[in-house]
Structure 1
Amino acid sequence: MAAEEAGAPFEADGPALADVLPAVAVSLGVPAPEGVAPRLTFPPARRAVTVLVDGLGHDLLVRRAGHAPFLRSLLPSTVRVPSGFPSTTATSMGSFGTGLAAGAHGLVGYEALVPGEDRLLNELSWEDGPDPLRWQPHETVFERVDRAGVAVTRVGPAFFDGSGLTNAALRGGRFVAAESLEARVDATLTAARATPRALVHLYWGELDKVGHVFGCDAWQWGDELEAVDRELARLAASLPRDSSLTVTADHGMVDVPLHERVDVADDPRLSAGARHVSLEFRAPQVWTEPGAAPDVQAAWAEVLGPRADVLLREEAVAAGWFGAVDPVNLARIGDVVVATHGSFAVVDSRRARPELLALIGLHGSLSADEVAVPVVHVTAADVA
Structure 2
Amino acid sequence: MPPKKQVEEKKLLLGRPGNNLKAGIVGLANVGKSTFFQAITRCPLGNPANYPFATIDPEEARVTVPSPRFDKLSEIYKPASKVPAHLTVYDIAGLTKGASAGEGLGNAFLSHIRSVDSIYQVVRCFDDAEIIHIEGDVDPVRDLDIINTELRLKDIEFSEKHLEGIFKITRRGGQSLEVKQKKEEAALVEKIIELLKTGQRVANHSWSTKEVEIINSMFLLTAKPSIYLINLSEKDFIRKKNKHLMRIKEWIDTYSPGDLVIPFSVCLEERLSHMSLEEADEELKSLGVDSSLPKIVTTMRQKLDLISFFTCGPDEVREWTIRRGTKAPQAAGVIHNDLMNTFILAQVMKYEDVVEYKDEVAIKAAGKMQQKGKEYVVEDGDVIYFRSGAGKN
TM-score, reference length from structure 2? 0.24
**Structure of higher RCO (CA pairs closer than 8 Å, 6+ residues apart):** 1
TM-score normalized with structure 1 length: 0.25
